[in-house]
Every structure is written in structure tokens, then in C-alpha cells.
Structure 1
Amino acid sequence: MRSRHVRSRRVDRLGAAVVAMAALWCGGFLWFVDEVPQRVEDDSTHTDAIVVLTGGRDRLTTGLDLLEAGLSQRLFISGVYKGVDLAEIIQLGRGHDSLKQAVVLGYAADDTVGNAIETADWAKEQNLRSLRLVTGAYHMPRSLLEFRHALPGITLIAHPVFPDAVKSREWWRWPGTAALLATEYSKYLAAIIRHWFLPRKAQP
């Protein structure tokens, strides 16, 4: 009887812990969704370079449009697939042939951590002090976290892009968007934990 009672208490404690963790996750998730940008806060400040993280035509088009508008003289596109050349990138971006000399492609990154490291290496080579970061709005919180870790001291201006397929304003009505945000939030938490336990120099 005693052992059964002990097991029962352990099960109760485990259940309470699971419920508490789920409640914390849900509360954090609602905070995260609120942190996802709903608009571009700064669309006029000039920066040393514009950085686009690959992942959609809207990002490329936005980056090229910003370059053409004169918000910077350089555009770095991080995470380009091997074999994709500048002509293809320009074509995907609706054609900005006159901007070719200002565009640099980065092929080393496979994920957001890689984007930050690849960009940091390039920014150091170019002696840059400010960057305008272009990526999906849902991806912006984690991107800023990784870039601030990899590029301390460099001013970052967020320039979120809002894909039509991502319904972040009413995400609860769209299962695909809800799943995307939940996945992104979990990755964001993992990034926070990794930065807590790994010093900057230990990053890959």
C-alpha cells in the first residue's frame, strides 16, 4: 500500500509539472505572437547595408526595392542556395539589373544561426556599423536575437516582410499560421537557451 501511495504522489507531481510547463509555454507563446511585428517601424533610416535572409520572393523584392530607393548602397543576401547566381536572384526580384554591382550573395548559411554568422563575417570585412535586416515578420524576433548575438555593437533596423500566406493578425483562425508560429516560438526558446549556456566564442 505504501509503495502504491508513493507512486501515486509521484504521478500527481509529474502531472502538475507537465501542466505548469504547458501553461508557461502557452503564456510565452501569446507573448511571442504579440512580439511579431505588424508593420515596419522605420522605413527611412539609411544603413551601411541591407541584409536579406533568403526564404521567399517577397524578401528579395523588398531588399532590392530598398536598395533602389537609396536606403543603402549595398545589399547582402544570406543563405543563397548553391548554384543560384546573381542573374537568377535579380530575376526573382522582378528585375533590377542596374543594381547588380551593389548586390553580394552569401552561400555559407543553412539556417538562421548561419545567416547571422555569415553576415557578421561579411560586415567585419566591410567595416559596417549598421544593417537593415529583411526577413519574414514571424521570423524577425529569432533573427534579431541571433544577429544581436553575432554582431554586438552593430545597429540593427528590423524591416519585416508580410507574406500573404501568413495570417499573423488572426493566426488562431488559420491552422497553418498557428503551426508556423508555434514552431518559430519553439525555435526562439531553443535559441535563448543555447545563448544562456554557450558563450559567444563557442558558437559554431
Structure 2
Amino acid sequence: MIIRFFAAVLLVYAFGFLGFAVTLPKPVSGQTTDAVVVLTGGPGRIARGLSIVEQDLAEEMFVSGVDPDVRPAEFAAEFNVSRRTMQCCVTLGYLAVDTRSNAGEAAQWLKENEFDSVRLVTTDWHMARASSEFSETLPEGMRVVEDAVPSHPDLATLYLEYNKLLASAVSQGLPS
């Protein structure tokens, strides 16, 4: 009986991982939001966020999880951002160190600026957990557009992220 139970749990886990790995989200085109939140940590994320602002698909961009040693001028130089765009449209967040704190830092910025909709930009394999963490912190009624940056993750990356997603789901289900 116990062996069957563990076999069933293992089977559910394996099919869950397979489902996670083959249904990675895609980029979104054409949808307008008030703001875009970009989570640092993966190639193409910041470029995607800047592209959204430049296409007028979002008014402002918040970059969460920026290294505290990075100054706005350095950021602008690194990502070829004009002075005008930096001044009007880009805010750097220095407080976050992980996905959960990204969500808290971004939620605070969104509340302070009274935005009603946000485009969340992160890598495709990271989107499920990031979206889950954001759903716990964002103001009620906030419309979220998930805009995934395509990647080619290896099996180890997918495996680690799937387990982080499961751990996050369990911790969110626990009473505070």
C-alpha cells in the first residue's frame, strides 16, 4: 500500500514536471499596460522591457533586483537607454534579492504609482513561479500580462525551477 502511494506521488510529480517543461509561456505582443516590471537575472529581460516602453505598450518600467552598486548612468550605458527614457520611464529597484522580494518591491512601486495593469517580464522558465509570487502581493484587481522572454533552458534549470515552484506553492499554502 505504501509503495503504491509513493509510486503514485512520483508519477504525479513526473507528469507535473513534464507539463511544466513542455508548456513554457511565450512572449506577448500588442497588449498595452500601464507599466512593465522586469525581473533581473536572465538575458534578454531588460531589452524586452525597454522594447515595450519604446513601442508605447507601457508608460513606465520598473527593474526589480538591480545590484546596489549599479548607478542609473551605468544602467543606461549598459543597455543603451537614452537620458530622456531613463528620466521619464525607468525606475531601478535595489531591494530585491530573490523572486519573492521582487514581487514585494514591484508591488510597492505599482501601488505608489496607482497603476491598474502591469506586464511582467521574465524568462519563460521563471514565469510560473514569478507570476505565482506576484499574485500574492499585487493590489486586488491589478491586471497582469505575462510576457515571457524565450530561452533554451537545460534540463537541470527546468528541474531546479520546477522544484522551486513546488516549494513556493507549498509555502504560500502555509498559514502566516
Give TM-score, length-normalised by structure 2. Answer: 0.91
In the other structure, the counterpart of 1:158 is 146
State the identity %.
36
Name structure 2 gaps, 5 residues minimum: none
Q: Which fold has the larger relative contact order, with Cα–Cα distance below 8 Å and residues 6 or more apart in sequence? A: 2
Structure 2 residue 62 is matched with structure 1 residue 110: no
Cα deviation digits, residues 162-203 of structure 1 (max 9, x gap): 23xx25xxxxxxxxx1110111111111111111113xxx4x
Structure 2 residue 31 is matched with structure 1 residue 54: no
State the distance in 2 between where 1:20 and 1:92 align: 50
In the other structure, the counterpart of 2:172 is 195
**CA root-mean-square deviation:** 1.7
Runs of 4+ in 1 over 6 A off after TM superposition: none
Structure 2 residue 70 is matched with structure 1 residue 84: yes
For residue 35 of structure 1, report the CA deviation from its aligned partner. Answer: 3.0
In the other structure, the counterpart of 1:129 is 116
Structure 2 residue 76 is matched with structure 1 residue 99: no
**In the alignment, residue 136 of structure 1 is paired with which amino acid?**
T
Cα deviation digits, residues 112-152 of structure 1 (max 9, x gap): 10011111111111111100111001101111111111113
1:183 to 160, 165, 170: 160
State the distance in 1 between where 2:23 and 2:78 align: 30
State the distance in 1 between where 2:169 and 2:5 align: 21
In the other structure, the counterpart of 2:18 is 30
For residue 84 of structure 1, report the CA deviation from its aligned partner. Answer: 0.7
* Aligned residues between the structures: 174
State the distance in 2 between where 1:55 and 1:19 align: 36
State the distance in 1 between where 2:161 and 2:171 align: 15
Cα deviation digits, residues 19-41 of structure 1 (max 9, x gap): 3332221011012123311x32x
State the distance in 2 between where 1:59 and 1:97 align: 20
